Each structure stands twice: as structure tokens, then as C-alpha cells.
Amino acid sequence: MSLSPNKIILANAATNTAGAYFEAYAVNATSSGVTVPAGLYQALPTANVVIQFNTSTNIASPTWTNILAANTAGIVWSDGTNVQALSTNTSATITLYGSNGGQNVSGTYNAS
């Protein structure tokens, strides 16, 4: 889950490492749609994947509207229910970058 934009940032920490601000989240989009986990993400251009938002007030009968076109970068803000990744092909993987909320650290007060 990627909900907290407030984080201590360590200099020279690469994505997906302990102390890094960004963590990559892979979402395997299908032609029927896959829910994007709750969080705030940066999406990079990905061919054949659109991000959709449910505009219906009835969760059992969603009405999906494109909010990010295929092969377009943008910000994705998901509540974990009403945002999905949809593949316009058979299937495709989109990588979303959110704040690092779960990478393990290597230790506390490590010796230099």
C-alpha cells in the first residue's frame, strides 16, 4: 500500500532499496481489468494498458471511465476499489511507483 507521501529520504537510495522514497508495484492488467491497490502512484507510459475509474454509485455494477490512456504517463490515486488497470490487448504489466511503505531495512544503526 502506498498512502504516505511523507517520508525521510536517504541520499543515493535507489528505487526498491531500504531507505528509498520510491517502490515499484507491478500490476498485471487483464482484458477484464485488475484493481489498483490503494495508494498514490506515478505511472510511466505503458503500451496496451489504460487506467480506469468507476463512476457508478453501485459497486456491483461499475461504470468504467478512462482516466489515463494507454502509453501515457500520469498520477494514479486509488482507493483500492474504484480504480483498475485494463489491458487493451490480452494482458500487460504496468509498473506503478509509490512511496516505499514496506521495504525492509538492513538494520538499525549499522556500523559504517
3-state SS of 87-101 is ECCCEEEEEEEEECC
Residue 110: the pLDDT is 57
pLDDT at 112: 54
Task: Give me the pLDDT at residue 4, please.
Answer: 54
- Other CB atoms within a 10 A radius of the CB of residue 92 amount to 19
**Helix, strand or coil, per DSSP, at residue 18:** coil
Asked whether the predicted pLDDT for residue 1 surpasses 70, the reply is no
d(CA 71, CA 22): 21
Is residue 102 scored above 80 in pLDDT?
no
Residue 105 has pLDDT above 90, yes or no: no
Please state, in angstroms and rounded to a whole number, the distance separating the CA atoms of residues 55 and 48. 22
Please give the radius of gyration of the chain, using alpha carbons only, rounded to the nearest integer. Answer: 16
Percent of the chain exceeding pLDDT 90 equals 59
**In the predicted model, is pLDDT for residue 51 greater than 90?**
yes
Dihedral sign computed on CA atoms, order 14, 17, 18, 23: positive
